[in-house]
Chain A
Amino acid sequence: DSGVTQTPKHLITATGQRVTLRCSPRSGDLSVYWYQQSLDQGLQFLIQYYNGEERAKGNILERFSAQQFPDLHSELNLSSLELGDSALYFCASSVGGVGGEQFFGPGTRLTVL
Chain B
Amino acid sequence: AQTVTQSQPEMSVQEAETVTLSCTYDTSESDYYLFWYKQPPSRQMILVIRQEAYKQQNATENRFSVNFQKAAKSFSLKISDSQLGDAAMYFCAYRSEQGAQKLVFGQGTRLTINP
Contacts and interface: CB of A to CB of B under 8 A. Distances in A.
Range, interface on chain A: 20 to 34
A44 B108 CA distance: 12
Given A42-B108, A101-B50, A94 B43 contact: no
Interface in A20-45: 31, 33, 35, 42-45
B113 to A, nearest CB: 23
Interface string B96-113: 011111111111100000
Nearest to A44: B105
B72 to A, nearest CB: 23
Interface of B: 33, 37, 42-47, 50, 52, 91, 97-108
Top 4 A-B pairs ranked by shortest CB distance?
A: A56-B100, A104-B45, A45-B102, A43-B105
